Structure 1
Amino acid sequence: MNSWELSKSFDYKRREIRYGRLGDGPPMVLVHGTPWSSFNLRHLIQRLSREYTVFFYDLLGYGQSSKDDGDVSLGVQNKVLDCLLNQWELDDPIVVGHDFGGATALRTHLLNGRRFKKIILIDPVAVSPWGSPFFRHVKAHEAAFAGLPDYIHEAVVRAYVQTAAFKPLDEATLDGIVLPWTGENGKAAFYRQMAQADSKYTDEAQALYHTITTPTLILWGREDSWIPLERGQALHGMIPKSTLRVIDDAGHLVIEERPDEVLKEILDFTQTEK
């Protein structure tokens, strides 16, 4: 997986969604967050595909999927996932969601009525309030940010994503994260997804968390500075009979920082009958 390429394509209302499939076994769907892409799930995809048929994709407006101007908010991402589940003919898969991917999985379950065998949420954007001062600043000045010279924009993205990790990320990982956000389309898309971020999309799902009966695992990086552990503890209290596991020496980007620990927690949870 040295060169990350999603080989398959799905048309969502004339906007392209790129996806992939790997492995053989029970179905599992992996959903990334923001400002990430399926590239950041590559460690988990490779290992989980030994036990499962893993379906993965880039959210609308992210990675290799369409970055055309339009709705890329959480309000559309659950609709995209719902359509992809139909495309893949999946009725009751395990779902794993990181960051916005966790919110997308929860919205798809609660608002679209999709059944999941088990739900794994990794540092999800799921409990209000959320949104950094940078998000709010971009929301107020999206056009100005989109007009930044390329070299300044790339420096902004690199500096921003590095703050998601507890320890410095290596250059290859940073390159893989930054690449989809380069070029005119990528630059505009980066600020667009921030400008469209709105806690109303998590609020409408949050009101229904108490109705979740699906076995749910919540994983959290102890040093997450983007979404503090306290939010994970609050989410754990909102979802009946959920399980909370905390991973040490990791921040919000725990999927890159501690993939082996994340993998062990996922496999322990999914391979235990509940």
Structure 2
Amino acid sequence: MPIHPAPPTDLPGLVNAFAHTGQAVTDLGRGLTDEQLALPTDCPGWTVKDHVSHVVAVESHLEGLPEPHVDVPGYDHVRNDLGRFMEVGVEARRSRAGVDVVRELEYVLGRRVATVGSPGLELDSIVAGMQDRPTTIGELLRMRTMDIWVHEQDIRAALDEPGNLDSPAAAVFVASAVRTVPQAIARRAEVPIGDTVILELTGPVTARIGVRVEDGTEEDPRPHGVVLFGGEGDQQSSGNTTTTMRAIDPNTQITTAKLSTSAFGRLAAGRRSVDEVTYTVAGGDEDVARRVLASLRFTP
């Protein structure tokens, strides 16, 4: 089945997805008490307020606004240069009142939506990305939409306020994550050559992808995943796919794992382990299913 609801692919749709999840973070932040803002989240070392600060900091950077210069302590959760770069904006706002950070987000987000929606821009227009590296506006919007949506879900999980699991931003995240599934299954999950895995997202964003693991080539000897059906491009997957595949190859081992959009998002974002989410194995090898689910992380 194709991803449903389908992710936006045109520039107005991507701008809307970006603005929608950014506004959701702003709306969630309004009215929170200091205790709520200080709640820990699934993102190691960060509170609810820190997530708001991170979104503000990145969008301010992309908008070209003056950036703070602070020293980042040797936090355990800061493990590389990228993490240190991302921590600067968060650290700079730790001493500020949460209500001020939320107001800053509202201001910066308004500027960013106007900037990325500027007349004359097209999907392949070149703009400045993170650390001023050039990228296309389409790719930048996809990356920022995914990142903000993940942080929105971090905040929602901490506050126990689920939502926006069927939003355009959720569909953008799912589509990008699903594209990484074939290689994750073949190379990180160590699924045996010749076996097939079916991964099904039960909703609110639904998707279904079947991947068979095959031998590598002389040029790349690593195993690779062959997509049998599913993902954004599949429009015809229906009926009993398992029966059809066994008719083609009666010896294939088929493992099917099913989970919700929320569980998939937490795994793909690296926020929770397999033991911390709910899933079902509808057939095949339970150990293979666990390894597949544990391999889904695709964010830095």
TM range (shorter): under 0.3
Pair member with larger Rg? 2
Instruction: Flag the structure with more relative contact order, 1 or 2, with Cα contacts below 8 A and sequence separation at least 6.
Output: 2
TM norm structure 2? 0.24
